[in-house]
Structure 1
């Protein structure tokens, strides 16, 4: 019996080192596994730390500043402004807002996907103030728009055998009444553009109709304000002339009334104003009669038109942003 017990103890003693060695082996394997895991994780940390792969950033910045279709944008703005100016010229005597608005609808559908169909330096300026357009593109848009308007003037002069010649003598004149008319009309127009662009649920056709009708509404509003300014100017003129002796006119192109009377309507577009002319004395007597050869044709482009349209575009666009921002806060 004693021998059996000793043999059992010896067997347990022999088996114990095996267990310890097995435990040590497992600990070693766990250590090796942990180390292998940490070693496997090390390259991942290095890869995350060494991530500045921005070697192509300068190219991306250049591409973001000047789009690849810049030539297409310029050509679209030239053609669009050229067509809109011709429509405004042919309807200048009646200044029918519907025709101009309908022409804008067609142009927005035609070139809206290319350049946005600004076709108006004031619209370009308004979108820039709203941060909807990069500053580097503004000179390209303006150059294209005035180039299109000048092309329309050249075409009209060629068709009329040189009788359609505009004069810039009235460019530096400033009338607060004309300034107010152009500003209000442009603000209404730009407000409608901002509202149309903000509606993501509208299709492109619906947006074009809203933009065209916004121009029509702006022309109607400014056309309703213009007679009030003209009547006030005439009354002031008559009061001034009542105190002084009126001299006889010898030159047919000499103006006998205030400048506001010779304005047929608001343009809401500096590029179009370059080609549109003011009325003459003979046209005041007969609206359908053409200007006489001895009468000068003064361009509608002046400081008041430029200042009013730019300020009106910025005012209308940012007013919509303010209203829309307050509306989102309340929601």
Structure 2
């Protein structure tokens, strides 16, 4: 049977056959009547298919659509430039979608490239995720990215640092597997300098110097604190290793430096260095003070004057003395 173009059918068929009925669904009999004169206004050229663009004829024909099957892109022959030109638009398929949350958009296939475009609902800085209903959603007040400053906010839409977490109670957790330590590392220029976290073997907390491979501060689950020692045996256990000086008590000149021995957070005996200095080695004297059960000052039974080295006892009792010198009131010996 000879093939005819649509416009040829419109002009050659008799008026009695100028209407053409198209059956859309043979099972239901739904049909649509279209006049051939209407169809004559449609594309009346020829469609040719080739494996790819390279297989097209060297010289094309006007009023002919060429299809490259490898990309499904349509072309026409441009007689003014003697070249094949992609049809515009060259979108083969476009799927428009929307969901209950108002996330509308389309999926377009251009050649072999598919593009997803979301056209509504998402706002600047939102980090979309799949919600409980399975639909794409956003929650900027709890998950927000500041693209201008490269900051991620969790429970805040105004992050002030690269990672800003806002909340109450425990707001973060490092949870390692049962056989691994859980550490938070602190690095400089990509090199670890410090780490802090849980040691899996006995669940002690430690601050570790990565540069020196040394555990510097340790806290046991029972509350013992170690400085320079990984297994403290007292509430505060300091190991100075080769250092002769273990600790300093330092403060401004006008502030007293003291160590307090207490019961139920109430002072009983204090070792104190005064915060009074006047130059020429005067001041910063040492005192031993005692306190009542209520924490009020009782006595200062012992004092060392820094400038003279004189040790003063308020009261002294000596027992078991069989030989030697006895102190006298004027500081001499008898």
Larger RCO (CA under 8 A, 6+ residues apart): 1
Higher helix content, 1 or 2: 1
Task: Classify the TM-score, shorter chain.
Answer: under 0.3
Larger radius of gyration, structure 1 or 2? 2
What TM-score, normalized to structure 2?
0.21
What TM-score, normalized to structure 1?
0.21
Higher strand content, 1 or 2: 2
